[in-house]
Amino acid sequence: MNIAVIPARGGSKRIVRKNIKDFCGKPLIAWSIAAARESGCFDRILVSTDDDEIAAVAEAYGAQAPFRRPAELADDFTPTVPVIAHAVEWAQRIAPVERACCIYATAPLLHSDDLVRGCAMLDGERDYAFSVTTFPFPIQRALRLDDRGHVGMIDPAQRDTRSQDLEEAYHDAGQFYWGRTEAWLAHRPIFAARSAAVVLPRKRVQDIDTPEDWERAETLFRMLRDSRLD
């Protein structure tokens, strides 16, 4: 079977109770659950949480929260891969898991079609398929400031290179990570040669770590929703 795993611990610091805070009319996590359900890719949609309130909200919106994540996997420093591996191990007690997709609870701009594309890209030669987008400015022209506020180029060799001649660079879009079961359980790295990239437009990508991020994400969400209604 294919499963979705939505990590959603209760200890968010910068935006308190972020995963179940109202976002454009629904708890934030509800949008990720909806995208997973609409994709038709999953036999089960599991929420990995250490928090009973988050579990109840997730279940109210159509996910399952049949276990609680142990404390050692729910602190500020726990990486994603061990959390998904833990959920996969739990699910495999019920039925064999072929593929698991980590979907972040903080991805209200996620489209179900992107999940379908990622699933299709995960063939036998690939461990993972995950969402990426382009940087809005050439990273080769990045600047640094020293302790006196003086400006310098990180790569001075690119000082006179035209921006259109520089290689396009991508970053993790922070929405989803499809992976084969053996890759999750072996804790293989996601950002590696055996991964495929699902490229998303920048207008549908926004991290939500700070109140400013939250405000920007809601603005983008409303603009995209209104454009679909026209």
pLDDT tens digits, one per residue of 35-72:
999 999 999 999 999 999 999 999 999 999 999 999 99
pLDDT tens digits, one per residue of 143-200:
999 999 999 999 999 999 998 899 999 999 999 999 999 999 999 999 999 999 999 9
Q: Angle CA(125)–CA(36)–CA(99) in degrees, nearest 5?
A: 30
Which helix (DSSP H) or strand (DSSP E) does residue 130 occupy?
strand 128-134
Q: pLDDT grade, residue 8 (50/70/90)? A: very high
pLDDT tens digits, one per residue of 130-159:
999 999 999 999 999 999 999 999 999 999
Mean pLDDT of 5-28: 93
What is the model's pLDDT at position 179? 98
Q: pLDDT grade, residue 27 (50/70/90)? A: very high
pLDDT tens digits, one per residue of 74-122:
988 899 999 999 999 999 999 999 999 999 999 999 999 999 999 999 9
Q: How far apart are CA 2 and CA 101, in angstroms?
A: 8
Answer yes or no: CATH 3.90.550.10 is held by domain 2-133+169-229: yes
Asked if 100 and 177 touch (Cβ cutoff 8 Å), the reply is no
What is the model's pLDDT at position 172? 97
Domain spans, the chain: 2-133+169-229
Residue 68 bridge partners (DSSP): 49
Sign of CA dihedral 69, 46, 207, 197: positive
Residue 144 bridge partners (DSSP): 152
Catalytic residues: 159
Helices (H) and strands (E) counted in the chain, each on its own, are 6, 10
Q: pLDDT grade, residue 229 (50/70/90)? A: low
Q: pLDDT grade, residue 230 (50/70/90)? A: very low
Q: How far apart are CA 76 and CA 51, in angstroms?
A: 15
